[in-house]
A and B are shown apart, each in its own frame.
Chain A
Amino acid sequence: MSSETQKILTTDGIPLEVSLKKAEKKNKIKAFLLVAPLLFFIVITYIFPIGEMFTRSIDDRMVTNMLPKTFKAMETWDGKELPSEEVFAAFLSDFRLLAEKKEHGKLGQRLNKEKNGFNTILKKLWRKMKNFEEGNAKEQIMEIHKRFRDVKYWQAIKRTAPPYSMAKYLKGMDMYYDEDGKIVQVEEDRRIHRILWLRTLEVAFFVTIFCFLMGYPIAHLLATLPMKYSNLLMICVLLPFWTSLLVRTASWMILLQQQGIVNDFFVWIGLVGDDNRPEMMYNKTGTYVAMTQILLPFMVLPLYSVMKTISPSLMRAGKSLGGTPFVAFWKVYFPLTIPGIGAGCLLVFILAIGYYITPALVGGASGTLISNQIAYHMKATLDWSFASAMGLMLLSGVLVVYWIYNKLVGIDNIKLG
């Protein structure tokens, strides 16, 4: 029936439906064009480089590019017995090219990581190959050293063929490929990265807990006090929030030093002896104290903005229905603040897990976190692919936290004070 009714037309004679759709599409394009410059900018300067971090972290093309003919010849090799003459000849010609470019040393070092003893035999090959006769490469190479007759060394070369490798990620978890290509853990006393990961998690977790325990009461006070008092107290939260991170770190360095005010105070109240002042900086205590103070505003502000919307009459209703103040708080008020708790804890945890400046300054050796390690590899060792790998491992951890948060609370609830 409806199909029989005449379609409504606009003044131009186009059906209204079509005209509206057209207008809608035009609006969509308009809105998108406004967003496009920033989107384009962020994708180019930020999203792509994060992708580049990934390719950099798995990039292992060095040997692949050094021995192209060898790997081509190895394609048909089953990897169980010694390779054929063809492979040996290809290897020799690749190696000669490298020697001309003086890059054979690099190959030796890289292959030595794969299988111990490679460097020596390649050096020997380099010295002897000038006297090689044309053809019969396999026999001549095998003559040089018995290791060339060992199939394991050829298997090691084959393992480096793929242009990518997960080795950097394994290193970040204190594991590596052993000589047989199996994944093994490094010795117990050298598992530094695992300690750092655990310590980062531990610090982020406890800083979040401390911030919550300290932030909840004051956010509640700020939200329930009359405006003229709360505005004044709000300054105590906002001034540190707007103050430079380095300034706040500097003040903690002054406070916590051995001759500092906190220690003076402890001596004065007789908690510790003057000759026995505790070391509060350059260890985990310093990291905890400074990070808690620095991140506390990020807990208070979301909590406050949620608490502000809770009507005080709800608590009165709870009490008038027979609940004690504690019951009324726990059953009525607390559940309503959960979005704020979620947002605050998420913010503090994410900020804490990637913290770098404060731990580096007040943390000392036992207070350094995974970000310090990333910065160290970026600036000192210049092992950028390893820094990228660890950065992405950290990022995936953060994304998991976001995902959980989104499931529990919803990501739209983040507010900036």
Chain B
Amino acid sequence: MALPKYTETRYRIWHYSYLVICGFVFFFLIAPLFVIFPLSFNAEEFLVFSDGMKRLDPEAFSLRWYHDMVYGTKNPWGLAAKNSFIIALFATIGSVILGTVAALGLSSRHMPFKGIIMATLISPMIVPLIISGVAIFFFIAKIGLAATHLGIIIAHIVLGTPFVVITVTATLSGFDHSVTRAASSLGSDPVNTFMKITLPLILPGVISGALFAFVTSFDEVVVVLFLAGLDNTTIPIQMWTGLREQLSPTILAVATCLIVLSTLILVTAELLRRRSERIRGINR
């Protein structure tokens, strides 16, 4: 981004102010996440930096909120974390299976009514969440699965499949179909061809779709708020309740854990994206 030597002063000024503006925006994006981190080690009960923390006094830092998160009395986080992981896991499995199979059909050039079917399949992603929440709630309540894990899992499969469909169709768009024909001509049956040839090749797309589905479910609160009973509380629900009632530092400890989790997911997603681009030969 170095400027050529002959650049006029006014463009030079403009260029540097542009960089400063960008710097501010990046700061605006990322800085809020880093506020949570130090405050979660606060020894006191307040959500502001204490004087001790500003002096970097080791006395002012403690792990008590992490201790509270894990061992606290009447602590909801253990159950919430268990529920969140179970629900997100099954919702991801369901979304990936349904979404991948559908994406295989959608990317066939023989597919009839492709436009309208695609629009239907990704509609849960493009309709505002509150409306999806109301609609799915009516369905789940009607079949009597309100306040059950299964009901929430079904709801999250609905919300998660569009991401899988989109990422897998995108991967399949660069897919060379002659390899599957070669497999068939060598006597492989379709299931075998899929497992041995197609799936390994589209795996990056499938996994990144799975990550989207997992995060969608793990972070989803609107639909769960309508559906969950006391036994199905999830991490987002607990955070929502906590943030509404009283901002306790325990929430910040949980939030820090969630940021670590999202960092892991980000790294995985990035590695997959690069691998996928390399396979498809779009290495720029």
Contact = CB atoms under 8 A, between A and B. Distances in A.
16 contacts: A28-B110, A28-B112, A31-B112, A50-B127, A50-B135, A52-B135, A218-B26, A240-B29, A240-B30, A246-B221, A250-B255, A251-B36, A296-B28, A374-B130, A374-B134, A395-B131
Given A27-B110, A35-B102, A243-B259, A224 B1 contact: yes
Contact of A32 (B33, B111, B239, B258): B111
Contacts of A243: 33, 258-259, 262
A45 B139 contact: yes
A243 B29 CA distance: 12
A309 B82 CA distance: 43
Task: Give the bracket for the number of chain A residues in contact with chain B.
Answer: 35 or more
A256 B88 CA distance: 32
B51 to A, nearest CB: 12
Interface in B106-165: 106, 108, 110-112, 117, 119-121, 123-124, 126-139, 154-155, 157-158, 161, 163, 165
A255 interface: yes
B244 interface: yes
A269 interface: no
Given A37-B98, A379-B226, 5 more contacts: A36-B105, A39-B120, A46-B124, A254-B36, A308-B284
A250 B111 contact: no
Interface stretch (A138-146, A169-177, A183-191, A353-361): A353-361
Interface in A369-392: 371, 374-375, 378-379, 384, 387-388, 391-392
Interface in A168-216: 214-215
B25 interface: yes
B108 A31 contact: yes
B259 A35 contact: no
B206 interface: no
Interface in A293-308: 293, 296-297, 308
Contacts of B106: 31, 35
A317 interface: no
A250 B240 CA distance: 9
A239 B243 CA distance: 22
Given A34-B104, A49-B139, A244-B258, A236 B265 contact: no
A371 B28 CA distance: 26
A255 B36 CA distance: 9
B255 A416 contact: no
A33 B102 CA distance: 9
Interface string A341-362: 0000000001101101100110
A415 B22 CA distance: 23
A233 B30 CA distance: 10
Given A249-B243, A257-B47, A371-B128, A35 B39 contact: no
Interface in B31-82: 32-33, 35-36, 39, 47-49
A321 interface: no
Contact of A27 (B104, B108, B284): B108
Q: Do most interface residues of chain A lie in helix, strand or loop, or is the interface mixed? A: helix
B131 to A, nearest CB: 5
Interface of B: 1, 11, 18-19, 21-22, 25-26, 28-30, 32-33, 35-36, 39, 47-49, 98-99, 101-102, 104-106, 108, 110-112, 117, 119-121, 123-124, 126-139, 154-155, 157-158, 161, 163, 165-167, 170, 212, 215, 218-219, 221-222, 225-226, 235-236, 239-240, 243-244, 247, 251-252, 255, 258-259, 262-263, 265-266, 269-270, 284
A34 B101 contact: yes
Contacts of B117: 35, 39
Q: Do most interface residues of chain B lie in helix, strand or loop, or is the interface mixed? A: helix
Given A239-B262, A250-B251, A375-B130, A356 B222 contact: yes
A97 interface: no
Contacts of A248: 32-33
B99 A238 contact: no
Contacts of A99: none
A387 B131 CA distance: 9
Contact of B263 (A47, A239, A356): A239
Contacts of A252: 32
Contact of A361 (B28, B243, B262): B243
Contacts of B157: 41
A43 interface: yes
Contact of A39 (B102, B154, B222): B102
A254 B167 contact: no
A384 B133 CA distance: 12
